[in-house]
Structure 1
Amino acid sequence: MINLNQLRAFYSVAKSRTFSEAAKKLSVTQPAVLIQVRSLERYLGLQLFDKLGKDMVLTETGKLLYGYAEKIFNLVDEAKKAIKEAGDVKSGDLRVGTTNILSEYFMPTVVTVFHDHHPKVQVYLDEGNSRELVEGILARNYELAIVGTVAYPDTMEHVPFGREELVLVASPVSKLGLVRKCSLSNLEGVPMIWRNMGSATAQAALNEFEKRNLTPFTIMQTKNTEFIKNLVARDRGVSFLGKTCVLEEIDRGELAVIEVEEGPFFFDIDIIYLKGKTLSPAASAFLNFLLKSGSAEGLDRFLTKMNKKRLAVV
């Protein structure tokens, strides 16, 4: 069997063309290099060098082996570099899962500020509803996920991250939009457009109906938040959504927030990862960044704080 010591001795002699120079580069004695090369030649049953004057010149077989040795030691160098980078938070890959809503309205600011401090970390973001993200963590598709609170398996660590207010939105010209106030019982006959049922947003609102033995009038479920807002603005129904994702439409007068007598309602947001898993330096740095920044005051205020940090860096 060829071992790396034999191959490295051969490779070094081939590059330096003398046993003495190869020995210096390898920090070993000249006889040690000679022994390794001769052992390799005996194993292969072939001569790898011709001696021309003071130089060791590769035979045709030696040239063939040299090409493979060069590839092998380039890979060894790449492996060393990759392992070094894996232990260095200054670089590396960060794979994160997040809900569709958080991905669109929350993560751009968060990732931007994190990247300002860790510019060589490559961020890969996957989207899904909260239940899909739990499955993604279990499948090791990503190290961390930021989700609305759902039921977690025993193998999952979940760290409370913050709360998001759940608001009822309607068209400003609708009946509810004109009065701006209602009770949950008033909504039983009102067309309701939901985020899909794997969503923590939808589940949190449905729980409020179930607590009061009420059944909402559901006309549609979808993953697409922009589609929901568009339909609501056209007075095709109402919806419960996270406050952060409707702030711009409220400011522009396209949507109206309806005060619900039983409210206000909130849903919790967690950071999840596999129990017992050692996080990569990049994932560990991102987790610490989120926890130190904190969002207990609500995602809208958290984003305001993040944007101030962004401006300070710029």
Structure 2
Amino acid sequence: MSDIPFTLDQLRILKAIAAEGSFKRAADTLYVSQPAVSLQVQNLEKQLNVPLFDRGGRKAQLTEAGYLLLNYGEKILTLCQETCRAIEDLQNLQGGTLIVGASQTTGTYLLPRMIGLFRQKYPDVSVQLQVHSTRRTSWGVANGQVDLAIIGGEVPSELQDTLQVIPYAEDELALIMPVFHPLAKVETIQKEDLYKLKFISLDSQSTIRKVIDKVLSQGEIDTKRLKIEMELNSIEAIKNAVQAGLGAAFVSTTAIEKELEMKVLHIAPIREVEVRRTLYVIINPNRYRSKAAEAFIKEILPPFSTYPEALEPEKLPQQYREAPPENTSRFPNS
């Protein structure tokens, strides 16, 4: 074929229909009419001379050809986004976008502070923070949809050869209890005391709960003996419940800085037990990296890191080794 038989708009429509499961919902998300969506699909099928949807059921179901086009179409759209961001980069941090990923705890309590510092230095750069599970965040970095991420869980095994995983910081899991709890008055508690406490935790199926249980087990704490009295769906809810005297909990120290300053929660040290996990920075060295991402890596990450030497230029992929030039913009200031 000498002419490409589809447009980027048609690929966007195909992707939206596949994601939403219907022509109508796809039209709503794209802010166009349903007849316009149907017409574009009909034209696309005519141009390709192959059906893309099985119209026999209630839900818009892709045919084999439809799945094939969707797979390549998503790659094409991602490359288009990278191209636009590379062109924006010619303005040398006078615009552009930085997309940072994070798992739940780091995204809620650590990244907002970092992004605030970055925005103070580079107010013209648009910053997006995407908070998802470690697995989904890792795939976002691998696919080029996220520039870099800080995670607390394990990178999926199938991505470990694709991503560069850099040790970033030690995150302590603290045992918190109400300030009026009897054990809050002792200097340290014994490991056996844990099994007498009532605990509040996240749902047993949540990713963060699984990470916490794994870290506790590595600290030789038998999680099966902990008496879980209540399961809640957020760290904030757990902190409020502990503060109200409903039980104790293990949470990341990054999540309780404000409460410790206000002295409304107590951290109970456990004798001869330290419960820590390592946070990691993940990047994809094979994807385009914007100047905004370079600046974030070099200027914002090191002060918060337990392992700043891991972020030294010679240990990073080539695109991070050269500092952005002072002014290489080809465009006049608007």
TM-score tier after normalising by the smaller chain length:
0.5 to 0.7
Structure showing greater radius of gyration is 1
**1:1-314 aligned within 5 A:** 84-87=87-90, 88-153=92-157, 154=160, 155-179=162-186, 181-195=188-202, 197-199=206-208, 203-204=211-212, 206-209=214-217, 212=220, 214=222, 215=224, 216-296=226-306
Mapped contact 1:202–1:240 kept (Cα < 8 A): no
**What's the secondary structure of 1:95's corresponding residue?**
strand
1:247: how far off? Answer: 2.2
Quote the Cα distance in structure 1 between the aligned partners of 2:84 and 2:278: 40
Supply the RMSD in Å over aligned alpha carbons: 3.2
Letter in 1 for 2:108: E
**What's the secondary structure of 1:137's corresponding residue?**
helix
Quote the Cα distance in structure 1 between the aligned partners of 2:149 and 2:85: 24
1:93: how far off? Answer: 0.9
Quote the Cα distance in structure 2 between the aligned partners of 1:138 and 1:81: 19
- Report the structure, 1 or 2, having the larger strand content: 1
- TM-score (structure 1 length as normaliser): 0.60
Quote the Cα distance in structure 2 between the aligned partners of 1:294 and 1:251: 19
Quote the Cα distance in structure 2 between the aligned partners of 1:82 and 1:147: 24
Residues 131 and 84 of structure 1: is their aligned pair in 2 closer, same or farther, counting only changes over 3 Å? closer
Mapped contact 1:165–1:267 kept (Cα < 8 A): yes
- TM-score (structure 2 length as normaliser): 0.57
Mapped contact 1:146–1:271 kept (Cα < 8 A): yes
1:221: how far off? Answer: 4.2
1:160: how far off? Answer: 1.6
Quote the Cα distance in structure 1 between the aligned partners of 2:177 and 2:284: 39
Residues 230 and 213 of structure 1: is their aligned pair in 2 closer, same or farther, counting only changes over 3 Å? closer
Mapped contact 2:219–2:273 kept (Cα < 8 A): no
Q: Percent identity?
A: 21
**What's the secondary structure of 2:256's corresponding residue?**
helix
Mapped contact 2:85–2:97 kept (Cα < 8 A): no
Aligned residues: 221
Quote the Cα distance in structure 2 between the aligned partners of 1:227 and 1:174: 19
1:245: how far off? Answer: 1.9
**What's the secondary structure of 2:96's corresponding residue?**
strand
1:169: how far off? Answer: 0.3
